[in-house]
Amino acid sequence: MGKSTPALLRSSTWRYAARTGALPPKLAPLYQSPEELVCGINEEYGRLLHDSKPIEYIYKNEYARHMLSTYWDSFSIQFEYPVGDSWADIITVTEDTGISVVEIKTERDTPARLGAQVSDYRRLTPHVSLLVGGNDTERYAGVCEELGVPALTFSVLEGIQKPEPTPEPITHAHTDPNTIINYLRDKEQQQALKLLGATPAGSETSNIIRWRRNKELLSEYPAHVLWEAASSVALESRHIPDYLYDLLMVAPAPLSACLLQVAPNRPQCDRLAGLLVK
């Protein structure tokens, strides 16, 4: 059985802390100051990081740190997002690549479901990649070549390593308009239609009628046009807000993925900063 994520690195812990300004009752007595808490977080992460088979959280956090160092706050990132019959480990949106999916395979995983997962993800975006540990590069080389999926690698010494980008043009042969439309939230659907020059149904209509009408309008556009519009509006509406970015810059690095998943609002960021910063 795989190892579980320690309590200090669980989103449930920091969701509770964001709401209350305190650690959960079982953890609170163990850490009497920000210094003790930060030390505990770093120690837990260090043990996981140097484990012979790091758990999935390590990959998510290191990828989040890579994105922060590359794009600062000009990107969107979400974890465990449903796409078709699969759950995408990471979905990002950036100005240069649009919507992208990253599937993680730790050394405890197998490639058995990878083909079905990639098929689901390509219904949303042509940008699908695999993130594996450095020791698993050869293990996944064949299936990555077969599926046409680039492999990213993670190692403690080198961090996240991306392959050289290929000059091949983007193809939307597998992109599905309905999958893209379902990815968009209500307001994002309206924004996408405005971006495309159409008039969306707005707040003057009931939720269900607005949802149906806007889906019908969006369905009239080809997949590649919808993907570009969806990438644009998702980046605008889901990018990291300044108050969360400020918290990420002062919080311990091991909490990056956790805090991004919790997505605290401004008052909650203030509460978390009070716990983590002297």
pLDDT tens digits along 191-219 = 999 999 999 999 889 999 999 999 999 99
**CA 226/CA 98 separation, integer angstroms:** 12
Rounded to two decimals, the pTM is: 0.96
What confidence score (pLDDT) does residue 213 get? 97
Does the pLDDT of residue 154 top 50, yes or no? yes
**CA 168/CA 55 separation, integer angstroms:** 33
> Phi and psi for 29 in degrees, rounded to 5?
-65, -15
What confidence score (pLDDT) does residue 169 get? 80
Q: Tens of pLDDT along 56-96? A: 999 999 999 999 999 999 999 999 999 999 999 999 999 99
**CA 111/CA 126 separation, integer angstroms:** 20
Does the pLDDT of residue 1 top 80, yes or no? no
What confidence score (pLDDT) does residue 3 get? 66
Half-sphere exposure of residue 166: CA atoms within 13 angstroms, side-chain side: 10
Closest CA to 137 of 155, 157, 119: 155
What confidence score (pLDDT) does residue 214 get? 97
State mean pLDDT over 258-271. Answer: 98
Does the pLDDT of residue 45 top 60, yes or no? yes
The H or E element spanning position 151 is strand 151-155
Q: Tens of pLDDT along 181-191? A: 999 999 999 99
Amino acid identity of 51? Answer: D
Does the pLDDT of residue 27 top 60, yes or no? yes
What SS3 state is found at 136?
Answer: helix
Least confident of 2-11, 24-33, 104-113, 121-130: 2-11
Least confident of 154-163, 216-225, 266-275: 154-163
What confidence score (pLDDT) does residue 203 get? 86
Does the pLDDT of residue 167 top 70, yes or no? no
* The token pair that represents 104 in the structure block: 């993680």
